[in-house]
Structure 1
Amino acid sequence: MAEWLYEDGIGEARAALVDHGRILEALIEPDDEGPRAGAISPARLTQIIQPGRRAIATLDDGGEVLVEPPPGGVSEGRRLLVEIIRAAIPEPGRAKRATARAASADAVAAPGPDLLTRITATGVPVVRLASHGPDRLEAAGWSELIDEAMTGEILFAGGGLRLSLTPAMTLFDVDGALPVTELAIAGARAAAEAIRRMGIGGSIGIDLPTITGKAERQAVAAAVDAVLPQPFERTAVNGFGFLQIVRRRSRASLPEMLRSDPAAAAARGLLRRAERTGGAGTMQITAAPAVIAAIERRADWRAECERRRGLPLALRADAALAISGGHVHVGSI
C-alpha cells in the first residue's frame, strides 16, 4: 500500500510517496523558498509592464511577483492582495519571479499550504518519521534520488537518461544498448517515472532513438501514459524520436531546487545525517568550505541540530572535499 513518508527536517521538510519500497514521488520544501503557491499576500503594484496583461508587484517582504493580469483600475503604487499561482523558479543567473493574480474581493492574507498540508490533502496515509527511528526514506532510495537530481544521470535496465535543465524546458536524452524499439519504450517509461519522482513540471522534452514505425511510436507514447498520472498533455512521438510533455508547474522541481544552491542542499543533507547519527560527545560536520559557510550563515540550523540531539555541533572546512563529499562524526574530537 502506498504511503507518504514525511520528515520535518532542519532547514527543510521532505516527503516521499513510497509503494513497495520504491519512491514514486519526492518533495522538498526549504524553509527559505519564499511564498508558496496558494498564498494570499499583501503587495504594492510597482510597475505596469503591459496594461491589462502584466505587471510587477512587490510583496511586503521585498520579493517581486508577476501579476497576470493586473486588476483593472489599480495604478502603480497602490496596494492590493495577490494570490500566488506559481512559486519562484530558480535559474542560473536569475530566478523566474513567482506569478500571481489579483486575489478575490473577499480574500484575506494567508500563507499557502505547506508540504505536510499538501500531502495530507491527497488522502494517502501519511507517516511522520522520527530521527531516532529507522531511516525509511533512505531505505527507499532517498540518497540515490538526490544524486540523480543533482547529476542528471539516471540509469534503467539496458540504458540511461541524462536530464538537462534549460530556461525553456527540462530535457531527457535516452541512450543504451537495447534494440532501438525496446530502448525507446524503456527510456520513455524511465523518463516518465523520473518526471513524477522529481516533481518536474512545465515543458518537458524526451529525445528518444529514432523509430520509424507508427505502431512502435504509439507503443512508446503508451509507455508514458501508463506511468505518468494525469493531468498532462503530450505530443505524439515524431519521426525524429522526440516527445514533448506539458505539466502544471506550481513550484520548482527537485533538480531545479537542488542545483540552484548545491552547497545549501548539501548542508541540509549533512544536518539530516548529524541528527540521525548515534553516539555521544560532539557532532562534527566536515565538508567543503562552501557547505560549512552555508551552515554558518544559518545560526538557527545549527541551534536546532544541537537542540534535537542534545549535543554540541562542531564545523570543520576541508578544501579537498567536493560539495557532495562531506561527512559526520559523533564522539570525541
Structure 2
Amino acid sequence: MGTGWLYEAGIGEERAALVENGIILEALIEAEGEGARTGAIHAARLAEILPGKKAGLIVLDTGEEALIDPLPIGVTEGGNLFARITRSAIPEPGRPKRAKARHVEKADAARPAPSLRERLEATGIAVTELAAHGPDRLEEAGWSELLEQAATGAIPFPGGALRIDPTPAMTVVDVDGALPPADLAVAGARAAGEAIRRLGIGGSTVIDLPSLEAKAARQAAAEAFDAALPQPFERTAVNGFGLLQIVRKRAGPSILERVRYDAAATAARTLLRTAERTAGAGTRTLTAHPAVIAGIEAVPDWLPQLARRQGADIALVANPSLALWRGHVSAAYPG
C-alpha cells in the first residue's frame, strides 16, 4: 500500500495522518480558532518586561498574549515590534501555556503560518485529500483508536502496555508487562518511540523502562527507541533504573494534550466528523454529553456547514449519561 498522507478538511478542524501499509505512523490536528500558529509573523506590542529582563510579554495584533525570548534590543514597554511564533499555545489544566515568539526585523512583513496542507506538501510525500462521501481511510487506519489511546493514555503492545501521562513539566511514559526485563525494555522503548511520533508528543519526555543492570540490555533498548522515532530529538542513555529522557521540538499541542485538556471541544469536532459520514436520509440527530453539545453550539457556523454538507436538517440532543467520547449520530431514514 505504500506510504502517504491522508488529509481531511473537516468542520472545525483539519486532520491528517501519515499512513504506511494501513497503519498510522504520525497524526496531526489543526483546529480553527486556536490562536497564533507556529511560523506566523505578527505585529505586536511589548506589554511587559518580565523579572530578570531576559524575556517579555507581548500582545499580538489579534489580542492574544505571547512570551518573547530574548527581549528585542531597543524596544521598551509599550513599543511596537514584529514577532514570529515559535510555538503555539498549549492547553493545560487551569491557564494554558502562552504561545512563544522571537523578534524579527520589520522587513519580515506580518504573514500567516503555513497551512496544514502546505506543511504536508512540503514533506515531499504524496497527499491524498479525503471526502466525506468516500471510503473512510483514516478510520480504516485506526483514527478512532488513536483518539481513544490519547484519551486514556493506555497503549498496548505485544507483551505489555504503555501508560502515558502529560504533566505541566514533562510527559511520563510508564512501561509495564510480563516479558523478561531486557525483552520488555526493548519492546517498550520501541512502542514508546512509535507512540511519541504518532501522537505528536514534543518537549521533555521521560520513559520508565524496567531496571536493567547489563549495559548491553540498556543499549539495546536505546537502539530500539532510536529506530522507532525519526530525528531530530535528543536523549540520554538508559540508566540502571531504566529511565530514558527525550527532548523533542514542540511546535504546538500534541494530540494527547488536545484530547486530555481540550476534551469537550475535541470531542465536539470528532462528533461532527462522524455526522459528516453518517449515511441515510432526513434529519441527522447528534446525541452527546451536554459539554459536547455546548461545544458545537458555541461556534455558530458549524451546524450550517454540516447541514450544507449533508443536505439535511440537523438536531442536537444533550444526554448527561453519555461520556464525552460516546456521542453518536443517527439519520431519520438510515442508509
Instruction: Tell me the TM-score range normalised by the shorter chain.
Output: over 0.9
Going from structure 1 to structure 2, the CA distance change for 1:82 and 1:51 (only over 3 Å counts) comes to farther
1:23-38 equivalences under 5 Å are: 23-38=24-39
Q: CA–CA distance in 1 between the matches of 2:312 and 2:99?
A: 39
Q: How far off its partner does 1:299 sit?
A: 1.4
- Which residue number corresponds to residue 43 of structure 1? 44
- Which residue number corresponds to residue 218 of structure 1? 219
My pick for the range that moved more, 90-99 or 216-225, is 90-99
Amino acid at match of 2:133: H
- Which residue number corresponds to residue 166 of structure 1? 167
Asked if the contact 1:52/1:71 (under 8 Å) is kept, the reply is no
| SS at structure 2 position matched to 1:35 | coil
Asked if the contact 1:5/1:137 (under 8 Å) is kept, the reply is yes
Asked if the contact 2:280/2:333 (under 8 Å) is kept, the reply is no
| SS at structure 2 position matched to 1:281 | strand
Amino acid at match of 2:70: P
Q: CA–CA distance in 2 between the matches of 1:114 and 1:207?
A: 36
Q: How far off its partner does 1:216 sit?
A: 0.4
Output one character per residue of 1:217-250: Cα deviation in whole Å (capped at 9) or x when no partner: 0000000111110111100000100000111111
**Consecutive unaligned residues in structure 2, runs of 5 or more:** none
Amino acid at match of 1:228: L
Q: CA–CA distance in 2 between the matches of 1:96 and 1:105?
A: 27
Q: CA–CA distance in 2 between the matches of 1:263 and 1:105?
A: 39
- Which residue number corresponds to residue 235 of structure 2? 234
Q: How far off its partner does 1:105 sit?
A: 3.4
- Which residue number corresponds to residue 23 of structure 2? 22
Q: CA RMSD in A?
A: 1.1
Amino acid at match of 2:18: L
Q: How far off its partner does 1:33 sit?
A: 1.5
Q: CA–CA distance in 1 between the matches of 2:214 and 2:290?
A: 54
Q: How far off its partner does 1:320 sit?
A: 1.1
Q: CA–CA distance in 2 between the matches of 1:79 and 1:260?
A: 33
Amino acid at match of 1:239: G
| SS at structure 2 position matched to 1:217 | helix
Q: CA–CA distance in 2 between the matches of 1:131 and 1:196?
A: 26
- Which residue number corresponds to residue 187 of structure 2? 186
| SS at structure 2 position matched to 1:82 | strand
| TM-score normalized by the length of structure 2 | 0.97
- Which residue number corresponds to residue 262 of structure 2? 261
Amino acid at match of 1:164: D
Q: CA–CA distance in 2 between the matches of 1:105 and 1:329?
A: 53
Going from structure 1 to structure 2, the CA distance change for 1:105 and 1:43 (only over 3 Å counts) comes to closer
| TM-score normalized by the length of structure 1 | 0.98
Amino acid at match of 2:216: A
Q: CA–CA distance in 1 between the matches of 2:62 and 2:209?
A: 44
Q: Which runs of 4+ in 1 moved over 4 A?
A: none
Pair 1:248-2:255 in alignment: no
Pair 1:156-2:145 in alignment: no
Q: How far off its partner does 1:52 sit?
A: 5.2
Q: CA–CA distance in 2 between the matches of 1:105 and 1:77?
A: 17
- Which residue number corresponds to residue 99 of structure 1? 100
**Count of residues in correspondence between the two structures:** 333
| SS at structure 1 position matched to 2:18 | strand
Q: CA–CA distance in 1 between the matches of 2:52 and 2:193?
A: 39
| SS at structure 2 position matched to 1:308 | helix
Q: CA–CA distance in 2 between the matches of 1:123 and 1:43?
A: 34
Q: CA–CA distance in 2 between the matches of 1:196 and 1:128?
A: 22
Q: How far off its partner does 1:332 sit?
A: 5.3
Amino acid at match of 2:6: L
Output one character per residue of 1:88-139: Cα deviation in whole Å (capped at 9) or x when no partner: 1111111111110111331111111121111110000000000000000000
1:33-112 equivalences under 5 Å are: 33-50=34-51, 53-112=54-113
Q: CA–CA distance in 1 between the matches of 2:259 and 2:213?
A: 37
| SS at structure 2 position matched to 1:292 | helix
